[in-house]
Amino acid sequence: MQLTEAERHAIASQVTQSLEEDLSAADPTLDITAQLIPAHHVSQATIITREDMVACGTAWVDEVFRQVDADVAIEWCVTDGDKVQANTTLCRLSGNSRSLLTGERCALNFLQTLSATATQTAFYVSKLEGFSTRLLDTRKTIPGLRMAQKYAVRCGGGTNHRIGLFDAYLIKENHIAACGGIVAAVETARELNPGKPVEVEVESLAEFEQALNAGADIVMLDNFTIGDIETAVAQNKAAGSPLKLEVSGNITDEALQALGATGVDFISSGALTKHVTAIDLSMRIGQPRTN
């Protein structure tokens, strides 16, 4: 899976911040527990998964050990996006024993969290097999890990929604009220940024019709019933399908197939990034030896 330039740029700062949580600002090499091991000892280690998963986060692990000790060597047995069975070795590491232990938790934190997002996404995507509907993420990400989790969603087979507040319009209830209505909001958006996609979130079929007539690009049907979603799809088709339709609001894995069957273009779910459970990983280190 290819990282975007923005994602590559984010990795170093995310890792730096994570390491700063573990290490002293006065002495960033000070890991008092690792100092129990003689400085000249070297070790080999493996990282394994204790459960089935979709791998994600290899570049973050690489960056952790690059910042801790660039001489640590990592041999990956998987690539991001791979479906991996429990008890599989993900990578092998070799280098200074202190360095391996200093970087262990930070590396595992990234790998377990991003693999969790990729795994959750892949599970949801599997529920939509056979439908043309694409699964989207949201901005409901772990603070500081927006770019990382967006990448993990793609590794799981999902599609990224807007990255932030700058790259696309998402006109919601409060925007509509402040602008004086859906039509006024859409017209102003077109005037201010003609090239940006304009999406409107609606909460009723009456609002959907307003967004349809206003010329939005995408309409998000928020917490619609299946029946109302089918009505909106039919109205959009009758108008020549000028809109892309997105469904959101309390999306569960049990509901995905029924939603996909309505013919909507997208389903967006915050659960991909905020309801994840970290993958159970373990780093096992071998007997240290003198370098």
Active site residue 244: no
141 three-state secondary structure: coil
Q: Which of 137, 201, 207, 265 is flagged as catalytic?
A: 201
Residue 97 to residue 32: CA distance in whole angstroms: 13
Dump pLDDT digits (tens) for 268-282. Answer: 999 999 999 999 999
Flag whether pLDDT at 29 surpasses 90.
Answer: no
Q: Which of 104, 137, 222, 246 is flagged as catalytic?
A: 222
Active site residue 222: yes
Q: What is the pTM of this model?
A: 0.94
If you search the block for the tokens 């439908």, which residue do you land on? 131
What are the tokens at 116? 């969790």
Active site residue 140: yes
Q: Which of 105, 237, 284, 289 is flagged as catalytic?
A: 105
Q: Which of 8, 66, 139, 140 is flagged as catalytic?
A: 140
Instruction: Using DSSP bridges, classify how beta strands 281-285 and 41-49 pair: parallel, antiparallel or unpaired.
Output: antiparallel
Q: Which of 66, 172, 244, 274 is flagged as catalytic?
A: 172
Active site residue 280: no
Active site residue 201: yes
Q: Is 129 exposed, middle or buried (0-12, 13-18, 19+ CB in 10 A)?
A: exposed
What are the tokens at 72? 């640590």
Residue 212 to residue 209: CA distance in whole angstroms: 5
113 three-state secondary structure: helix
Dump pLDDT digits (tens) for 142-186. Answer: 999 999 999 999 999 999 999 999 999 999 999 999 999 999 999
Instruction: Using DSSP bridges, classify how beta strands 89-96 and 41-49 pair: parallel, antiparallel or unpaired.
Output: antiparallel
Q: Is 255 exposed, middle or buried (0-12, 13-18, 19+ CB in 10 A)?
A: middle
Flag whether pLDDT at 288 surpasses 80.
Answer: no
Q: How confident is the model at residue 117 (pLDDT cuts 50, 70, 90)?
A: very high
Dump pLDDT digits (tens) for 3-15. Answer: 999 999 999 999 9
